[in-house]
Amino acid sequence: MRHLMSPLDFTVDELEELFKLANDIEANHEKYSEKCHGKKLATCFYEPSTRTRLSFESAMINLGGSVIGFSDANSSSAAKGESVSDTIRVISCFADICAMRHPKEGAPMVAASKSSIPVINAGDGGHQHPTQTLTDLLTIRSLRGNIKDFTIGLCGDLKFGRTVHSLINALMRYPGIKFIFISPPELKVPDYITSALEEKGIEYKEVISLDEVMSELDFLYMTRVQRERFFNEEDYVRLKDFYILNKDKMAIAKDDMLVLHPLPRVNEISVDVDDDPRAAYFKQVQYGVYVRMALILTLLELV
Ligand code: CP
């Protein structure tokens, strides 16, 4: 039995198989519509979510399966003090696979260690968000044709943004990727990530100004400042509008640069960018359903 805690749990070759399956699902929806008939997905979300939870649920329904779960810790027995270890033992009696989001780093890993069904980390604190990374990689691969030889700018909250940490870890395994980290000094990417890049001899630079590097980018990965992970509101208010991507900034970007964002957005991408053909963040959401369908099939060994 396999779980998914980090995008690195799959080799690059295994990811390639997963992405091919996701693309086949996209092209041949009907072929997969009963693959999970009789199977149940449990979504155990101890933190708010729109995309991840609903795209998991949509993925399972598209596969002919059904869904149970909770979307708020306070409506589960966690509010009475139940541990994730006990909860997953209980969920294992009800469902065939579980997607879990938790504010504490490592909680889905603890659940996986006690589970008799596959557990998928759907985001743990500021740590990892592997299925967002699968979504991001599938989007890049589908829109560009491959995952190699490009410059990606990651902009915004690089300290607390778990999608950023997961994506950098995953992209480090592909050839010819250059990273540009764009953040205020307070929200810099953690040292363990830059150390890993240095150890592997991967090119990166850290800058404060988005305008300064805009014309170099093939992908711009915008992120929201993670209000829920700040220790004080004053710092959040000072930093929340540090970057706002607007039409003027898009005018200095390459004609084929693509803008990605894990969403939700707050103010960091102006809505007038949405009509730009280079804005790929809503397509990204659709790829998230295909890749989660492929992941459920793979972890349930139904391919
Ligand atoms: N991208 C993402 O994780 O969105 P949600 O928080 O809405 O699930």
- pLDDT for 236 beyond 90: no
Residue 92 CA to ligand 1 centre (angstroms): 24
52 is catalytic: yes
Kindly state the percentage of the chain with pLDDT values over 70.
99
CA of 50 to the centre of ligand 1 (A): 6
265 belongs to the catalytic site? no
CATH for the 7-127+288-299 domain, from 1.20.120.80, 3.40.50.620, 3.30.360.10, 3.40.50.1370 = 3.40.50.1370
Q: Sign of torsion, CA 187 191 195 196? A: negative
CA 205 centroid distance within chain: 23
pLDDT band at 228 (very low <50, low <70, confident <90, very high): confident
Asked if residues 41 and 98 have their Cβ atoms less than 8 Å apart, the reply is: yes
Domain ranges of the chain: 7-127+288-299, 131-284
Residues in the chain: 303
- 129 as an active site residue: the answer is yes
- Is 80 labeled as catalytic in the residue annotation? yes
* pLDDT higher than threshold 90 for residue 230: no
Q: Give the whole-angstrom CA distance, residue 162 versus residue 33.
A: 32
Q: Whose CA is closest to 9, among 134, 95, 115, 106? A: 134
- The per-residue pLDDT for 71 is 97
User: In ligand 1, which atom is closest to the CA atom of 53?
Assistant: 8
7-127+288-299 and 131-284 share one CATH topology? yes
Which of 102, 129, 165, 240 is labelled catalytic? 129
Q: Which atom of ligand 1 is nearest to the CA of 47?
A: 6
User: What is the predicted pLDDT for the residue at 52?
Assistant: 98
Give me ligand 1 centre to Cα 48, in Å. Answer: 8
For the full predicted model, state whether its pTM sits above 0.85: yes
The architecture in CATH of the region 131-284 reads 3-Layer(aba) Sandwich (3.40)
261 contact partners, CB below 8 Å, separation of at least 6: 221, 222, 223, 224, 268, 269, 281, 284
Across residues 58-70, what is the average pLDDT? Answer: 98
- Return the pLDDT at 235: 78
> Catalytic: which of 40, 53, 101, 162?
101
Pocket of ligand 1 (CB under 6 A): 49-52, 123, 129, 132, 262-264
Distance of CA 52 from the midpoint of ligand 1 (Å): 5
Question: What pLDDT, in 10s, does the model give residues 151-189?
Answer: 999 999 999 888 999 999 999 999 999 999 999 999 999
pLDDT at position 239 over 90: no
The answer to whether the CB of 292 falls within 8 A of the CB of 131 is yes
Pocket test for ligand 1, best of 45, 49, 129 (most atoms within 8 A of CB): 49
Query: For this structure, is 139 an active site residue?
Result: no
Confidence at residue 264, expressed as pLDDT on a 0 to 100 scale? 94
